[in-house]
């Protein structure tokens, strides 16, 4: 079997597994977010935080819950890192420096998991498990809660109420993420992923000498970093490390975990708005973009010209031999089309066009299928823009799911689309213009520019992966990427919840002969086209200076 065939078969196996899980998990999440019953453990949690889970919230109250909970998470994680030196299980590591502690706290609360440190040399067991792993669960649940609130905005009428944030948050953790993570962690342990609390020990090397390694609760953190589309890793090598991702099967399973909830949420959306076909239309758009990116990535990495790639059967630089080009390409596309950021290969070593594909995947807004929750609400925002464009073309007031898209709705959607590019391009331009930040670039020229462009694209889109040729552990990059992560996460949520409240207050509009059928393949094509055109017009000049210039050279 050739490597190209093996890569295609892996993609087909992945699609088949997702198809099998799509309906049962999507149905389950509908029950999770619509059931009036609270589990006993959930009642204990509500009493502990002083929340009434049955109180309906309008969008300002829902937003206050999101922001208050997230701010508390940033503060707690920051203090935990600053106190690491006196905590048990610190493995002898010192407290984390202030700038890096802020960056890491912002990163994990924002569901980004950007890491400007070596995990195995910086974080002890307590910070890894009580801090970082916990945020992997709750930050994912926050994204799911905001997505469900927007879906309720489409489903409800003549009320501004969007549900209860605390109930949505707790249920997302207890009924979705924890059960799936337990099963997934057991599978990863069976594959050989490490799960212990061992200290630092020395390991002999093939070339002589020794290397120091520490163990950790790796499997339990690995599963939620993928399942919650968080990213990051216990070790600096991330999912290329054999302690995190030892076999080709574990590699494919981790890709499956990344895509599982975002894919299933499209069915949850369809059922909650009363039309499964609407969910399939959104899923078809996501799937078409994902398949297209996978095909392009495999083509550019397998067919790259040059004597070394041709002798190796493709561009193997920076890729794990355990996974090959097929497994690496699948992982790279999946992790950058979602807000995951986990990597099993060195994106900086991809071909010029291959590196550009990973960047473009994030620039789409990570909506194919996107992050847990954030992918769905990002695609629904793009759907609002698509029906507005269609309405302009036919001279009709745009409608989506029975709700009119008026000036207020389109302004909120437009601001949502503009926030992330503004963060990426402003911070990138400042980093290139100021005298010190370019010193962090490992490479000059187009590739060096790509390193900085990738860093802020990853941060503002809450992805967390890196080109890895950039020394981001400086006060400038720790501060600016931290700000980009927080603003890129929570400013869009403000707009999403405001849009949800506006939609929920509307009187539904009955469908007529002139209503755009948004469950049809034509609309899926329009939606995909709108995504690609908007992103292309926004980012093409920056891409032309970086990966496109490098690829054409």
pLDDT in tens, 285-305: 999 999 999 999 999 988 766
Give residue-wise pLDDT tens across range 355-407: 899 999 999 998 999 999 999 999 999 999 999 999 888 777 889 999 999 99
pLDDT bracket for residue 72 (50, 70, 90): very high
Lowest mean pLDDT among 81-85, 262-266, 272-276, 395-399: 395-399
**183 pLDDT more than 70:** yes
pTM of the predicted model, to two decimals? 0.95
Q: Which residue has the higher pLDDT, 5 or 20?
A: 20
Pick from 398, 376, 379: nearest CA to 389: 398
Q: Which residue has the higher pLDDT, 90 or 33?
A: 33
- Domain of 433? 372-552
Q: Evaluate the CA torsion angle 340, 342, 348, 351 in order and state its sign.
A: negative
Residue 377 lies in a domain: yes
Residue 28 lies in a domain: no
Residue 548 lies in a domain: yes
Q: How far apart are CA 281 and CA 172, in angstroms?
A: 25
pLDDT of 312 reads 60
**349 pLDDT more than 70:** yes
Residue 352 lies in a domain: no
Distances (CA, A) of 21 to 107, 176, 180, 256, 331: 30, 13, 12, 10, 19
Give residue-wise pLDDT tens across range 150-174: 999 999 998 989 999 999 999 999 9
**235 pLDDT more than 70:** yes
Q: How far apart are CA 254 and CA 207, in angstroms?
A: 31
> How many separate domains does the chain show?
1
% of the chain at pLDDT higher than 70: 97
Range 61-78 average pLDDT: 97
DSSP-derived letter for residue 176 is I
Q: What is the DSSP track for 357-377?
A: HHHHHHHTTSTTTTSTTHHHH
DSSP-derived letter for residue 159 is -
Structure-token match 């927080």, residue found: 486
Q: How far apart are CA 469 and CA 450, in angstroms?
A: 10
Q: What is the DSSP track for 283-334?
A: HHHHHHHHHHHHHHHHHHHHS--SHHHHHHTS--TTB-TTTHHHHHHHHHHH
Range 331-342 average pLDDT: 93
Q: Which residue has the higher pLDDT, 307 or 457?
A: 457
Q: How far apart are CA 116 and CA 24, in angstroms?
A: 38
Residue 55 lies in a domain: no
pLDDT of 461 reads 95
Cis before 362 (ω within 30): no
pLDDT of 403 reads 93
Residue 27 lies in a domain: no
Range 430-454 average pLDDT: 86
**198 pLDDT more than 70:** yes
Mean of pLDDT over the chain: 91
pLDDT of 516 reads 86
% of the chain at pLDDT higher than 90: 67
pLDDT bracket for residue 328 (50, 70, 90): very high
Tally Cβ neighbours within 10 Å of residue 186.
14
Distances (CA, A) of 349 to 164, 296, 469: 45, 17, 9
Structure-token match 């030892």, residue found: 246
Tally Cβ neighbours within 10 Å of residue 86.
8
pLDDT of 511 reads 81
pLDDT bracket for residue 306 (50, 70, 90): low
Q: Which residue has the higher pLDDT, 319 or 204?
A: 319
Residue 365 lies in a domain: no
Residue 379 lies in a domain: yes
pLDDT bracket for residue 278 (50, 70, 90): very high
439 touches 496 (CB < 8 A): no
Pick from 522, 431, 418: nearest CA to 474: 431
pLDDT bracket for residue 313 (50, 70, 90): low
466 touches 454 (CB < 8 A): yes
pLDDT of 251 reads 95
346 touches 375 (CB < 8 A): no
pLDDT bracket for residue 437 (50, 70, 90): confident
**40 pLDDT more than 90:** yes
Tally Cβ neighbours within 10 Å of residue 13.
12
pLDDT of 308 reads 60
pLDDT of 302 reads 86
pLDDT of 144 reads 98
Q: Which residue has the higher pLDDT, 75 or 93?
A: 75
**125 pLDDT more than 80:** yes
**116 pLDDT more than 70:** yes
Range 453-461 average pLDDT: 94
């Amino acid at each position: 079997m050739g490597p190209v065939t093996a890569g295609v078969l892996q993609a087909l196996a992945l699609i088949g597994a997702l198809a099998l899980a799509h309906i049962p998990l999507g149905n389950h999440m509908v029950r999770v977010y619509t059931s009036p019953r609270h589990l006993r453990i959930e009642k204990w949690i509500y009493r502990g935080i002083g929340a009434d889970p049955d109180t309906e919230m309008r969008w300002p109250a829902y937003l206050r819950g999101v922001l208050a909970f997230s701010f508390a998470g940033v503060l707690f994680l920051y203090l935990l890192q600053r106190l690491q030196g006196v905590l048990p299980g610190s493995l002898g590591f010192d407290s984390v420096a202030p700038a890096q502690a802020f960056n890491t706290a912002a990163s994990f609360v924002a569901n980004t998991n950007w890491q400007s440190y070596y995990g195995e040399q910086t974080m002890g067991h307590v910070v890894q498990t009580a801090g970082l792993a916990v945020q992997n669960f709750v930050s994912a649940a926050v994204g799911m809660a905001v997505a469900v609130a927007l879906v309720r905005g489409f489903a409800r009428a003549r009320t501004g109420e969007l549900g209860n944030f605390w109930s949505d948050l707790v249920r997302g953790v207890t009924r979705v993420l924890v059960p799936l993570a337990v099963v997934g962690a057991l599978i990863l342990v069976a594959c050989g992923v490490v799960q212990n609390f061992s200290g630092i020990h020395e390991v002999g090397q093939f070339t002589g000498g020794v290397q120091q390694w520490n163990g950790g609760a790796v499997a339990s953190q690995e599963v939620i970093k993928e399942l919650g589309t968080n990213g990051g890793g216990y070790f600096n090598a991330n999912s290329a490390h054999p302690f995190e991702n030892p076999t080709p099967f574990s590699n494919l399973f981790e890709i499956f975990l990344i895509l599982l909830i975002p894919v299933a949420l499209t069915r949850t959306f369809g059922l909650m708005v009363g039309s499964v076909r609407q969910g399939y239309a959104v899923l078809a758009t996501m799937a078409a973009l994902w398949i297209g990116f996978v095909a392009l990535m495999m083509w550019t990495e397998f067919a790259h010209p040059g004597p070394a790639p041709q002798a190796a059967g493709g561009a193997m630089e920076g890729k794990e031999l355990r996974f090959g080009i097929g497994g690496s390409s699948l992982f790279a596309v999946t992790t950058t089309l979602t807000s995951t950021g986990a990597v099993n290969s060195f994106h900086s070593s991809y071909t010029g066009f291959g590196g550009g594909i990973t960047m473009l995947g994030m620039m789409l807004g990570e909506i194919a299928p996107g992050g847990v929750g954030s992918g769905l609400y990002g695609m629904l925002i793009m759907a609002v823009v698509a029906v507005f464009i269609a309405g302009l073309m036919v001279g009709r007031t745009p409608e989506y799911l029975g709700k009119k898209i008026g000036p207020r709705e389109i302004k909120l959607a437009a601001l949502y689309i503009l926030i992330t590019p503004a963060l990426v391009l402003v911070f990138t331009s400042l980093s290139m213009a100021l005298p010190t930040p370019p010193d962090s670039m490992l490479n000059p020229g187009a590739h060096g520019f790509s390193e900085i462009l990738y860093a802020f694209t990853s941060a503002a889109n809450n992805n967390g992966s890196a080109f890895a040729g950039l020394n981001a552990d400086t006060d400038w990059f720790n501060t600016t990427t931290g700000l980009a992560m927080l603003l890129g996460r929570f400013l869009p949520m403000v707009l999403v919840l405001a849009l949800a409240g506006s939609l929920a207050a509307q009187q539904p509009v009955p469908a007529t002969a002139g209503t755009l059928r948004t469950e049809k393949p034509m609309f899926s094509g329009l939606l995909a086209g709108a995504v690609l055109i908007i992103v292309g017009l926004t980012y093409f000049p920056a891409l032309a200076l970086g990966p496109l210039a490098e690829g054409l050279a």
